[in-house]
Amino acid sequence: MKEKRKFGGLAAAVLLGTGMVLGALFISNWDASVAERDEYRSITPVVAADQRSLEDFSETFATIAERVKPAVVLIKSERVVRQTQQRFWRPFEEFFGGRQAPDAQPRPFRGVGSGVIVSEDGYILTNNHVVEDADELEVLLSDEREAKAEIIGLDPRTDLAVIKVDFDDLPVLPFGDSDKLRVGEWVMAVGNPFGLNHTVTAGIVSAKGRGGVLAQNSYENFIQTDAAINPGNSGGALVDLEGNLMGINTAISTRTGGYQGVGFAVPANMARNIMTRLVEDGRVTRGYLGVMIRNLDEVVAESMGLEDSDGVLIEGITDDGPARDSDLEQEDVVVGLNGKEVEDTDDLRNRIADMAPGTVVELDVIRDGDPVTVAIELGELPDVDPTQTASREEQRERSPASNLGIDVMDITREWSRFYESGSGVVIAQVRSGSVAEDRGLQRGDLIREVNGDPVSSVQAFLGIVRQFEAGQAIRFRIQRGNAQFLVGLRVPEE
């Protein structure tokens, strides 16, 4: 084998040497008069022009980076937690860089994230998951100054937050119009991945209007980008090539815990709206219709005599919601809101939520094949939306196992990317102080089996856990990232 490798190396050397000789012969026989021909005369100017274009392009990135970095800060968060057993860390959700050793004693949990200065007097826009539940927040500016920060307001449903430091004349990143951002356009991400301050990455806008990334009751309209985003980038800036803030980097889709080419940012227009309300009121109030909706599919549309599946189907109307007192009916198909076309359920939910309670809206609907306009005065979205949680409440009433403290959902298309194969139900929420939290279960965990029985859907999961009474033990097979393990839970007393 060694002889073969030597021969291969010799052959490569001979080929390379031959190429050099041929190149030298070609150059020595070059007729200078050939360069005067038209087809050759333009080569040098074109190459030079291309080089100048590349240099200009590179200069644009460098200039924007210099302009943006001073307005992006490092946020250090600390909170005291009690750890009762070793936790298995999620490979794909919140971008905190902290670690907590297994210990029964209270210990500080430290995390790092990013933020964007949006006013000269110290208001900073970041992610809710970067700062929520923090006992202490510290902000590190680009000029190495440090300051304690206070939380002005939190909005978990968009994963946005506003904090403030006591400084003046700070560098500010101007908001851009994210609605005008185009798929394929160059963008830059600036943040503090893994605590590496003011890291700049570049990519393009991969898609717009992404949903199904966060929790079920979130309001999402994400910009998707392939600019590298990693743990610590949360709350950082996504900017265009004019240095305008186009989004707040929030989440990634990954099976490894790090960058895999799919990142998500809250659009600047949504972020600015939420920020304004948090600064003015300390909280976000949202418009509320009180209806249960889903996207219309071709089969249902055909059964209703409709020509296409455009629109949002009203599946139900809550008893105490604003729509109950209107002319809206079950099985109406919403095709427009205030004269503008409705694209899908996410579009309708987001637009309604952006309006203030008390606003009167007009819904364009199709009923029995005829167009109808319905006026509704919006109510205020409650902290717990009954249209999202009614079935869960019913489940809790019927099942002692609901006291475990978890809510589950079927694997959606977005969540399926986190798991290469197999079936199960995803833990959508782990309630604070529950036995599930105590045993280390986390949002995003996939429950594959219950006491050895495979789980294929929420219905199948509930069918199994309803059989258990208070005091009985349940065994879950959990997948987290690429790892699988068993977790035993005992159903608590009422």
Domain architecture of the chain: domains with CATH:
33-285 (2.40.10.120), 287-380 (2.30.42.10), 386-490 (2.30.42.10)
Tell me: the pLDDT tens digits for 156-183?
A: 989 999 999 999 999 999 999 999 999 9
Output the average pLDDT for the chain.
79
Of 425, 158, 385, nearest in space to 293 by CA = 385
Asked if 139 contacts 78 with a C-beta cutoff of 8 angstroms, the reply is no
Higher pLDDT, 24 or 175: 175
pLDDT at residue 64 greater than cutoff 90: yes
pTM over 0.85: no
Least confident of 92-101, 180-189, 337-346, 353-362: 92-101
Digit-coded pLDDT (tens) for 174-214: 999 999 999 999 999 999 998 898 999 999 999 998 887 87
For residue range 294-335, what is the model confidence (pLDDT) as tens digits?
Answer: 888 888 888 888 888 889 999 888 888 899 999 999 889 999
The set of long-range contacts for 196-204, using a CB threshold of 8 Å and a minimum separation of 24, is 196/232, 197/74, 197/140, 197/142, 198/69, 198/72, 198/142, 199/233, 200/65, 200/68, 200/69, 201/227, 201/228, 201/229, 202/61, 202/227, 203/227, 203/228
SS3 content of the chain, % helix, strand, coil (to 5): 30, 30, 40
What's the pLDDT score for residue 396?
37
3-12, 205-214, 260-269, 362-371: least confidently modelled range: 3-12
Q: Which residue has the higher pLDDT, 284 or 388?
A: 284
**231-244 mean pLDDT:** 94
In angstroms, the CA 445 to CA 457 distance is 14
pLDDT in tens, 451-464: 888 888 787 888 78
- Give the number of other CB atoms < 10 A from CB of residue 103: 13
Task: Please answer whether residues 424 and 448 qualify as being in contact, where contact means their C-beta atoms are separated by less than 8 angstroms.
Answer: yes
CA atoms within 13 A of residue 455's CA, in its CB half-sphere: 28
User: Which residues are tagged catalytic?
Assistant: 129, 159, 234
Closest CA relative to residue 353, chosen from 286, 290, 294 = 286
List, in sequence order, the alpha helices (H) in 183-308: 268-281, 298-303
Please give the pLDDT value at position 123.
97
Looking at residue 110, its amino acid is R
Instruction: Tell me the pLDDT band of 468, cut-offs 50, 70 and 90.
Output: confident
- Cβ neighbors of 433 (< 8 A, separation 6 or more) are 405
For 401-430, what is each residue's pLDDT tens digit?
557 888 888 776 555 555 655 678 888 878
- Maximum mean pLDDT: which of 42-51, 200-209, 216-225: 200-209
Buried b / exposed e over 21-45, threshold 16 CB at 10 Å, is: eeeeeeeeeeeeeeeeeeeeeeeee
Per DSSP (E only), the strands in 118-221 are 123-126, 136-140, 146-155, 160-165, 186-191, 199-210
What phi, psi does 323 have (nearest 5°)? Answer: -65, -20
d(CA 95, CA 258): 10
d(CA 144, CA 73): 10
At 493 the pLDDT is 73
% pLDDT > 70, the chain: 77
Nearest partner of 348 among 179, 193, 221, judged by Cα: 221
**For position 404, what pLDDT does the model report?**
84
Q: What's the pLDDT score for residue 21?
A: 35
**C-alpha closest to that of 252 among 236, 229, 218:** 229
What are the angstrom distances between the C-alpha of 134 and each of 130, 150, 303, 391? Answer: 9, 10, 52, 32
Residue 373 pairs in a beta bridge with: 364
pLDDT over 90, % of the chain: 40
Q: How far is it, in rounded angstroms, from Cα 379 to Cα 384?
A: 14
Which tens digit of pLDDT belongs to each residue from 257-291? Answer: 778 899 999 999 999 999 999 999 998 999 999 99
> How do residues 126-137 score in pLDDT, each as one tens digit?
999 999 888 899
